[in-house]
Amino acid sequence: MSLFPELVLASHNAGKLKELQAMLGEHVRVRSIGEFSSVEAEETGLSFIENAILKARHAARLSGLPALADDSGLAVDALGGAPGIYSARYADGAGDAANNAKLLEALKDVPDAERGAQFVCALALVRHADDPLPILCEGLWHGRILHAARGEQGFGYDPLFWVPERDCSSAELSPSEKNQLSHRARAMALLKQRLGIV
């Protein structure tokens, strides 16, 4: 039995809610912050961890429930870790296709050997809005950036992210395969250990 029979997820993303509920199993009921408010947290942190904590505290304050937040993105070695915490807004909010195009342009002269990257997921769980001891878990998924998009699955930078252990792009993995390998899956595995969820 989990310490947290019910959590609020600091996200309005239905896909993320479904993914995290599947990873946590039936011992924890995950509710969307959208049930309580449409107000988004201001992501003013300078790291994935800081933004995850800000979002978790915001969700706990609005819902009165323990809250889980994740902040995720892509960190490209040749770009000094960019787009990083700005991954979703890399092309000024113009969407996934624009973000991917901007990334390919930024790396156009970078050889394969220097195109290393990692997807990053930082999870923060707070018992209440002013929790002095948030539970923090991080997951990294190492790969490299392709020269052109491949695959139809996934979202975001998945078509450009080469997964060495599967010899394909992230967008060529089935959803169940991605849920076993991804940065979010790795962070969730750590969180489940911390919470005693088998």
The β-bridge relationship of strands 29-32 and 6-9 is parallel
Residue 71 falls in the annotated catalytic set: yes
How many whole angstroms separate alpha carbon 90 and alpha carbon 84?
A: 9
Query: For residue 191, what are the contacts with CB-CB under 8 A and spacing of at least 6?
Result: 68, 123, 125, 135, 137
Dihedral of the alpha carbons of 160, 166, 168, 169, in degrees to the nearest 10: -20
Binding-site residue positions for substrate? 11-16, 72, 155-158, 178, 183-184
Catalytic residue among 71, 109, 130, 131: 71
Binding-site residue positions for Mg(2+)? 42, 71
Which amino acids are annotated catalytic? 71
